[in-house]
Every structure is written in structure tokens, then in C-alpha cells.
Amino acid sequence: MYKGKRIFDLAIAFCLLPFVLALLLPVCTLLFVLTGKSPFFLQQRPGYHEQIFSVIKLKTMHDQTGAPAFINHLGRFLRTYSVDEMPQLFNVLKGEMSLIGPRPLLKEYLPLYSTHQRQRHLTRPGITGWAQVHGRNSLEWKKRFELDIWYVHHQSLLLDIRILLATVKTLFITSDVKPEGLSETEKFKGE
């Protein structure tokens, strides 16, 4: 990590916080009203140096089969525009994540990583990253790891600013988004 990365994360996170809260409040209220349950989903993920933490996301799928279609449509919309990832701003504030870095993958993948792939854990995971601005979750696993590891070895303030600006653009271009996400539909099986 470059010197000042944590300061950059906190400065941007505190600037974004009012906007994120303004968006999350009505979305969380709607999810609670529609499902009668907490709108948040916590999942254990490996972070910096493979330390396990609970990533915070919005629930985008109903717990029960046969859920009304509009709940599933709302979830698809939230995933397509990455609204479900916004609660991870609190992971950033807690120091478990960074704004920019390799996306935290499932804990079950840890034993499958090669020594080279493990390098993705030499920095904090991010809400967005180099792989996300180069194809989001439509990338094949090999390319995703390649981009993540490139970022780990080239990260800088200027690169983080570039990725942040590119992320804003990719939020409105949904052609690279699989509704369920690559990590959900195509499990990583190692090399």
C-alpha cells in the first residue's frame, strides 16, 4: 500500500457518507417493508493478509423460494447498479476494506489459490478495483486475478483516483454485469 492510502480512503468515504446514507435509508426501508427482515447481509470474506472479516451488503435475493417477482426485480436492479455494495463504505471506515483494491472473494476459495494468486491479499480489498473497471464481473477468473495482482504491485494515489473516476462511469454501463455476479454463478475451482 502506498503512503497516504488510508487517509485517501477516509477523506473520500466521509465525503460520500451523506450521499450513501441518503440513498440507503429509503432502499433499506423498502427492503424491510417488502421482506419483513433486515435489509443487510453479512458474509465472511478474507481481507488484508487473508484476515477474515464480515463484508456488509444489501440483501438482493429473497430467502424463500417463490418470492414475489418484484422483490427479485428490485434485487437485480440493486446488483446491476452496485447499490448492494454501498454498505461496504462502513467496512472502509472500520479499516477492513479500502475504496480501491481487489474485490474480496469467498472464504472457500482460500485453499484454491496459487502462491501468485495469494498476492491479491497484500493490500486491503476494495469496494471497486482495477478488475471492476475492466469488465466488472463478466471477466474470466484468470483475467480477474491478473488485473488484481497488477493493481497490488502498481497501486498509487493517481491510479486510485483514475479507478474511482472510471468506476463512476462503469456504474452507468451495465453491459459488463451478470445479474448474479461471476463469483455467484461461476465458482472459482483453482488452476
190 in any annotated domain: no
pLDDT attached to residue 19: 95
Query: Is 181's pLDDT higher than 50?
Result: no
pLDDT confidence band for 183 (50 / 70 / 90):
very low
CA distances from 36 to 5, 58, 62, 63 (A): 39, 14, 11, 11
- Has residue 184 been placed in a domain? no
CA 17-21-27 angle, to 5 degrees, is 145
Q: How many domains does the chain have?
A: 1
Structural domain contains residue 188? no
Contact present, 50 and 121 (Cβ < 8 Å): yes
Assess if residue 185 is contained within a domain.
no
For residue 9, the enclosing domain spans 5-176
Give the whole-angstrom CA distance, residue 92 versus residue 47: 12
Q: Is residue 153 part of a domain?
A: yes
Q: Please, which pLDDT band fits residue 159 given cuts at 50, 70 and 90?
A: very high
Is 189 within the bounds of a domain? no
* Within a domain: 191: no
Q: Is residue 158 part of a domain?
A: yes
pTM: 0.86
C-alpha grid cell, residue 21: 446514507
